[in-house]
Structures are given as structure tokens and as C-alpha cells.
Chains A and B, each alone.
Chain A
Amino acid sequence: MATVELLFSALPEHVRTARLVAAAVARRAGVDEAVLDEVRLAVGEACSRAVGLHASHGISTPVRVVLTEDEKKFSIEVADDAPRPAAVAAALSAAAGAASGAPRGEAVPEEGVLGGEDDMGLAVISGLVDDVEVTAGESGGLIRMSWPTTPAPEAA
């Protein structure tokens, strides 16, 4: 069961609200203070992307954000209703996988990455979040991210 679920009209002015809510719930869930900026940025990127997709597809349904607090992790799911052909969905997921698997700090954007804000948003998410999954299909897309809520014990 979701801790907090948020539905907002797919308009740019509401993305800030989603960031603030996500950061507040993450803080309460025990996500490290130092990581809250990353949570804020990642959820903002995911929501901006969803808003853009709804606008470009002329979709009037709201964007869904589900914030879930588990025992050891805090998860955020951002779902859009923009349909993607199967080929695009497969390419997206492969791109996100490749980006998240790359060593941190070594990614150099190609011209194509800078050309699309959609792609740059995904690049930022992949660079920020270790545990991220991007899926998309004919009924819409989903970005799932999670952060640990308890720090790993220090090795003595």
C-alpha cells in the first residue's frame, strides 16, 4: 500500500508541488538528508517528462506519483498515460539500463542527448539514482526509483 499517492493535472506549474511532497515524505521515511536533493531532482525530472509526454500526446488525464515507505527503502513511481509503440519502449528501457550501468561521472552527452530535453531528463535520473527502472508500453510509461532509508553499517 502506498504511503502517499499524488495525482496532478499534467501542467508544468504542478511539478514543483510534486517535488515538495516527495521530499517531505522521503524525509519522514528516513531518507538521508544529503540524498533529499537527489530525490527532489529525480522526481522533478520524472514528473517534467510525464507532463511533457501528456502535452505532446494531447492527454488530459493526470500524472500519478506513488510514494511508498518500506522497512528499508523509500520508493517513488511516476506514471504517465502516453502510449509508446513496442519498439520505442524497448529502446527506452535499454537506454536507461545502459546509462545506469555506466560508471558515475563519466557519461559525456552526445549531441542527440542535448537535443532532447526528454532524453536529458532520463540521463539525469540515471546518473542520480542507483536503483531505477524505466518501462513503457502501449498504456503508458513508468519510472520507478528507490533509495535506502537506513544507512549501511560502517565497516569497523
Chain B
Amino acid sequence: MLSLIVFLPAAAAVVLAALPARLPARVFVGTWIAAALADLALIVAAWLRFPGAAARGGYAFEERLPWIPSVGISYHLGVDGLSLPLLAMTAVLFLACAVFALRETRRVKLYVLLFLALQTVCLGLFAALDLILFFLFFDLSIVFMYFVIAGWGHAERARAVALKFFLYTFLGSLALLLGFILLFLAAQPHTFDIVELAAANPLAAGGPYAGLTLLAIGIGLAVKTPTVPFHTWLPPAHTEAPATGSAILAGVLLKMGTYGFVRIAMPLLPASWRQYALVALLVGVVSVVYGALVALAQNNLKRMVAYTSVNHMGYILVAIGAAGLVVAGDAQARSLATTGAVVQMVSHGLITGALFLLAGVLYDRGHTYDFGAWSGLAARTPRFAALFAVAAFASLGLPGFSGFIAEFQIFTGSLPAAPVPVAIAVTGILVTAALFLLALQRLFLGPLRTPDAPGTPRAVVDLRASELVAIAPLLALATLIGLAPRFLLDLVEPAATTVNTLVAR
């Protein structure tokens, strides 16, 4: 079943690749929407069939085939409470992007093929239970995203930015590979299997070897997440990428880094994680504060949202860092923090995905993200203004939205472990609130002003139907999680407790 979920988009891509590119764009995008819908239905079915609460904490729907047995590599898929919500979020976000892409006109066939491949890669990463399989999807996500940015970015500058993105994140992925090799060599018998490695716990004693392994894996994941000081690739990549590319990049690809922390770094290197948890926490705090402050200073909407991603990813590091401070925090608080981290991943995916798609709408209307070029849009584009306001409030963590649930859990869970740093991190929320309110004010209030550079459409139109259908469900889901989070928390909590048990052993 998991293989079907992972490879359904790829199969659709293979079928589409055989069709001539001169067919109408609707054929390609339509197939993409159908494939994404089918995939989402399968994931919902998997969610419903996921074993009852008693059995939770283990993996479900496992599939394992020998791939390269001589070096302990297998094709091993499986989901638990950490990965299933992310799979669902990925499917929802790709569906939204597919609907949004109905308005794409440039080389649609290639575009759809790339996104379908990207979808397979993203789903595969969250389902992978083998380090090499994980790395394969991790690396391919970079390759496909490179082509998306380089091929459909905004200007000739997109190519240089895509190159920077590729080089930077590829360095991260190779650091990750180095860490995986060190893990592989430490285990007896040598294996790349995540489940076996977690059970064997080969580096339980800690020490410099384990520390170096964590350093390599940590750098690899930190580049992808990204945390300060490895975040510099992110803002330009977002600014130049097309709206759908940005949404996937922020919504899904960034989660690969944070998911790697909870799936690999924490359970497989528990001793070192406990030892260096404070480092992760402090990096998280710095990311939170720095990301928020730099976002506040931006004049470009997309750059601003990109920096808030750095800020939001920082919260996740704070939480998982606190989860590693076994001595200081009690078990329940640490479990709460880890749960909050996973909820934050889902929540950030939905909300930031929506924000980037909305930014794409703005660009479509006026070919600029510059705050200075826009003003007073609320009267002209009420639907756009309403959705943007909802997304902004959700992103800044207003109660009633998923961001609040996540951040509340993170702070409550982390505070006992490290009161002072976490208290500093809370100020990040304040700054985020300020910057989103400022953005709303600049875009929507005041006298009407729209960019009148040559080539821009005269009248600024409100959200079109396809844009509305793409963006509104994301925000509806974020609200649903905010109001009735039990369905998600019931899934995440047992898995989070399992991770914490593994860290604490």
C-alpha cells in the first residue's frame, strides 16, 4: 500500500511522458490533479486503517525487500505517528499546487512531470525506513527542485539562485551521507536499516565518534531545515522560485530536515543527542529570534515569508532540543515538546504553503513582491485580503489555528527544561505578530496603489476560482487542526513518546 502511495505520482508521470507536449495544458494538469486526489484518498484510507491506540508507537504498513543485501541496504517503507501526518500534509499541499497550476502556461508538460516526480520523492522520504532510501529521496528532492526553480523561476537570475540552492543543499546532503556511513560502520552487523539501528543502538556509549556522526548528520539536516547559520540559501531561492515551487519548498522540503532530526538523529544517536541537545536548542532560539527580526526588516513579501520559515523551523529545534535535555525536563513535558514539533511541521506546511501561493497571486497581478508597490488592496480584492489575513493570523500563532496548538505545546514542553532560552524564544512570536500586522497594513489598508510598470495588467483582479479552490482548503485544515486537534494528536503523541523513550535510554 505504501509503495502504491509513493509511486502513484511517478506512474502518472510515466504515462504523461508518453503523450505529446502539444496537447492542451488541461490534460496534463488534470491528470496531476487526479493523481494527487487519488494519492490523498489512499493516505486518508491508511490513516483510517492505522492500528488502534494500543498498538501505536510501532510502524504500520511495513514493506521490506532486499535491495543490496551485501551492504545491508533494503527497500524498507513504513509509517508511524510521526510520518503519517507529514505524508498527509504532503499530499494535501501537492493537490493544492496542482489546482493552482491550472493557470500555468509555460512548458506545462515538463512542469507537471517534474512536480509529479517531486511528489513521489517527497512521499518516499517520509515513508523511508532505510538510511540509503532516505538519502536517495533527500537528494532527488534537491535535483527536481533545482529544475523547478531554474526552469520556471522569475528571471534570468533564477538560474544563479537555483545553482546556489543546489550546491548549498547538496553539500548538506553529502554531509548527511557521511554521517550515515559512520552509523553504518558502527553497527554490528553493518546495516543501513533505521529500525535495526534504533534497536541495536550502536553508539549508545557516546564519545567523539558518535559526536562526529551527529555533527555530520546535524549539519546535513540543518542545511535543509534551514537553521541559522545555514539559512542563507533559502530567501533567494524562495524569491526566485515560482509560487508552487516555493510552496513545496517551504511546505515539504524544509520538513525533510526537521523530520530527519526526529526520525534519525534523535533515536539513532540518543547518547550524543542528550549530550548536545542544548546546542540544538540554542541554535533553535537564535533561528527564532534572528529569523523573526530579519523578516521584520524585509520590503519584499516573499522574502519576508521565507524568513518567517526560518523562525518557525527554529521552534521545532527548540522543541527537539528540549526533548533531549532528559535530566532537566520531566517525561511528560518532553513528550509534549516532541508532539508540538511534529504538529508544527504539519501546521507550517499548510499555512506557509498557503502564504506562498497567495504571494504567487500577488506576483501574477503586478509582477512584483515589493511592499512599496502595493497599498489599499482590501477594497479591490476582498477575497484575496480575507484569505491573506487568515493565513497571516494563523502563521503568527493566533489561538484557533494550528500554529497556536503547535507553539503552545512546544513552549509548555520546553519551558521546564531550559527556562531562560525558551523565554527568549517566546519573544519571536511577538515579532512575528508585528511583522504580519505590518504586512497586512501595508498591502491592504490606505489608498489604493498598484504597480504600473510596463507590461503589468491594468486592473488588479481578485482571486480566481482555481486559486481560491487551491488555497482555501489549506487554511480550512489549519483551522480544523486549531479547533479540533485530537484526531492529529492521537496519532502523533504515542509516536512522540516512543521517540522520547529512545532518546532517554
Q: Say if A and B assemble together.
A: no
